[in-house]
Structure 1
């Protein structure tokens, strides 16, 4: 088990990088605590797999260092880092039984037979594989084979970290929730440092204590699922997390008032000195925007209402810009004109995509 320090870490696949756009992974400085459950979340090509491969030793960074418990491992090979890694597709020994597959990492380390048997039974039980322990892996489904891969990664208690690279890709959808919950329970029980790479926000938010959101090779925010939802540090985070994502609207800000076209929005804080030349935007999640009768709140035009089972979401237009809002039960609309009520303290202002704190409080 280890804390992991990323010290001025960056990587470029092209030789002689000069500009930020030359880097697949832009500079990162961060410390991940021992025993933490982390998710690297972002779209394909954002740099998350590059970062995971640097941590595992498959890639040597162009600049900076990586430290495990303060020890510089930047130039050490994978086998010298004492990690376990679970890949996107199953990696198993087909000619071995499930029991032999799970025991293999422990036998390689010459653990006593009794200790191996006890640990294998524990992990198999947690993964609901006890009844297939003596079956050959070749006779199992892709789902079951990936559960063996997960088990092999989890069976060692002495690893510095376990790295998961989109491990549920081949798992049937109805099993994914169960396995995410199992991994979370195992993390709590085993106190292992776990790093989970995914492009799926549901996987990231249900597995991790801390989510690292990546975009265009850079870390744009690190925080708890609640922090990412309630206070996105970047408009990308607001867009990427949530369904639907955060409403982001171009505005002009005058002190504690934002103007969406000719519609004035009262803010909870004042913004007296926004940077010149940057695009200024207002962000508010649909969960904090509620449709109301016309003449109440901000004037909007309703384009359509989507019923998603647990809620109804209105697609509206405000001053010519699209937005989404929640529809309260029992609301009756007269035509396509309506009002929009925003929770003032859940409105954020961004300059160049980056959250601006604002000053003081209003009202």
Structure 2
């Protein structure tokens, strides 16, 4: 039961385009994550798939059937909202059973079996008589998950379901959602602005920005072969270092007028940009006369440190990951260099790195 989006667009007004020409094929049983910054249209896209928001142009197909004009109840899918959307006056059990009862096509014994199985899967059997106000945030999210599991829908849509939870609970719930999805064979379409959620859970990721698809790929493809400068900058903690570079007439490549790099491909003479991950930069303490940067701050993360520095020319900020025992502190003068593992972007921000030609561009 694949879900196919073909040139899907949404305009609220003539001059207000929320989404433009979004196309994707989401395979049966796939964990598909839609990610992007706030306001990029990802929740709108999910609501269009659900049938809660009308599309302006294009086509949405589920299992080879165009569903543009089908109401949500006829699309054979279920949705988990950011706000949980629980009925405060109903018990946990009745919240999970509500949708099944409303459809009136299930016997009471079948409803009982589905609800009890769903509660067992999310470890809420002992809390089934409680009201939502008596539950923690994580438990309320489990109720919402159980309601989705109890449905016989094979497609589940999730709109930033973990954003209201604290960091430790988000990690636990990520694992539980992933495990449930695999166990049930659900097609799960998941919206988030959190790159860590996207990278750790997805089979494929769609990156949205400025109303358009920037790239669709596996987590490894998105990270190692970003389609453009935006995708490269969006994924990675700390973010990739984007620096101006120029190829001189003699072939040398100068970065920010501070150091030189080797790039194993032909690049046009003139100006372009390079991307260097914080793990691919090297630092060395030197005297001020030999320095091309100075340390601004250092973050200790246990098994490693993040060194933040300001380059000598143009005051460009960079971040570098070093070993935890590396001795760097604020105001140290340093020499910055880089490995040969470098991404190359043209003037339009498109990735032109060698072997990146199979990257899906917008």
Same fold by TM-score, threshold 0.5 exceeded? yes
Q: Which residue of 2 aligns with 1:286?
A: 278
Aligned pair partner of 1:267 in 263, 269, 278: 263
Q: Which residue of 2 aligns with 1:176?
A: 170
Q: How many residue pairs end up in the alignment?
A: 348
Q: CA deviation at 1:294?
A: 3.7
Sort the Cα spacing of 1:229 and 1:359 in 2 relative to 1 into closer, same or farther, 3 A.
closer
Q: Which residue of 1 aligns with 2:120?
A: 125
Q: Which residue of 2 aligns with 1:209?
A: 203
- CA deviation map 1:144-181 (0-9, x unaligned): 33321221112223x24111111123334432211111
Q: Which residue of 2 aligns with 1:8?
A: 7
Q: TM-score, normalized by length of structure 2?
A: 0.86
1:116 and 2:111 are equivalent in the alignment: yes
1:149 and 2:144 are equivalent in the alignment: yes
CA distance in 1, matches of 2:237, 2:157: 27
Uncovered stretches (5+) of structure 1, i.e. residues with no partner: none
Q: CA deviation at 1:125?
A: 2.3
CA distance in 1, matches of 2:232, 2:79: 30
1:187 and 2:181 are equivalent in the alignment: yes
Q: CA deviation at 1:71?
A: 1.1
CA distance in 1, matches of 2:162, 2:355: 44
Aligned ranges 1:3-152 → 2 under 5 Å: 3-15=2-14, 17=15, 22-107=16-101, 108=103, 110-152=105-147
Answer yes or no: is the 8 Å Cα contact 2:276–2:341 preserved in 1.
no
Q: TM-score, normalized by length of structure 1?
A: 0.86
RMSD: 2.7
Q: CA deviation at 1:182?
A: 0.6
CA distance in 1, matches of 2:33, 2:62: 18
- CA deviation map 1:225-260 (0-9, x unaligned): 222222222222222222210101112235975322
Answer yes or no: is the 8 Å Cα contact 1:95–1:138 preserved in 2.
no
Q: CA deviation at 1:12?
A: 1.0
Q: Which residue of 2 aligns with 1:245?
A: 239
Sort the Cα spacing of 1:220 and 1:339 in 2 relative to 1 into closer, same or farther, 3 A.
same
1:339 and 2:332 are equivalent in the alignment: no
Uncovered stretches (5+) of structure 2, i.e. residues with no partner: 357-362
Aligned pair partner of 1:354 in 343, 350, 354: 350
Answer yes or no: is the 8 Å Cα contact 2:95–2:143 preserved in 1.
yes
Sort the Cα spacing of 1:187 and 1:213 in 2 relative to 1 into closer, same or farther, 3 A.
same
